[in-house]
């Protein structure tokens, strides 16, 4: 069974640009969560989608958005990039929906974003 796939793996952008990251969950998983990982702030929850609906959202500005498609693939978008958005963005999929509370996540290898 294929794992969680994230694309692109690495990307470099400049301030003010926007970026779209993609995540394909494990087959059969309908929940997709996104996390930002930085040396200073650690791992922080961005949002979770289940059946194309955002079920939970972290404390990030509106520049961070996401969506989920009918095949459970998810994208996240960051507009008007800032230097502080440089991070590893991790996607995780799960069998359980938000509210089921299992927390058993399967992570992808991440997308490393560098903002210059």
Partner 1 sequence: AQTVTQSQPEMSVQEAETVTLSCTYDTSESDYYLFWYKQPPSRQMILVIRQEAYKQQNATENRFSVNFQKAAKSFSLKISDSQLGDAAMYFCASTFKAAGNKLTFGGGTRVLVKP
Please enumerate in sequence order all residues whose Cβ is within 8 A of that of 67, keeping only pairs 6 or more positions apart, or say none. Answer: 49, 52, 74, 75
Per CB under 8 A, which of residues 9..38 are in contact with partner 1? Answer: 31, 33, 35
Strand-pair category, 10-13 with 111-115? parallel
Binding mask 41-80 for partner 1 (x = CB under 8 A): -xxxx--x------xx-x----------------------
Tell me the closest approach of the beta carbon of residue 99 to partner 1, in angstroms. Answer: 5
Residue 14 buriedness (CB in 10 A; 0-12 / 13-18 / 19+) = exposed
Residue 96 as a binder of partner 1 (CB under 8 A): the answer is yes
The binder of partner 1 chosen from 26, 76, 105, 113 (CB under 8 A): 105
Closest by CA to 114, choosing from 4, 8, 5, 34, is 8
- Residues forming the site for partner 1 (CB under 8 A): 3, 31, 33, 35, 42-45, 48, 55-56, 58, 88, 90, 92, 94, 96-110
């Amino acid at each position: 069974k294929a794992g969680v796939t994230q694309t692109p793996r690495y990307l470099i952008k400049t301030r003010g640009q926007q970026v779209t990251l993609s995540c394909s969950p494990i087959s059969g998983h309908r929940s997709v969560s996104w996390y930002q990982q930085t040396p200073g702030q650690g791992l922080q929850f961005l949002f979770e989608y289940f059946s194309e609906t955002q079920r939970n959202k972290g404390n990030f500005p509106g520049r961070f958005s996401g969506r989920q498609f009918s095949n459970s693939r998810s994208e996240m978008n960051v507009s008007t990039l800032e230097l502080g958005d440089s991070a590893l963005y991790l996607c995780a999929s799960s069998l359980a929906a938000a509210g089921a509370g299992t927390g058993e996540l399967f992570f992808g290898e991440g997308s490393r974003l560098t903002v210059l």
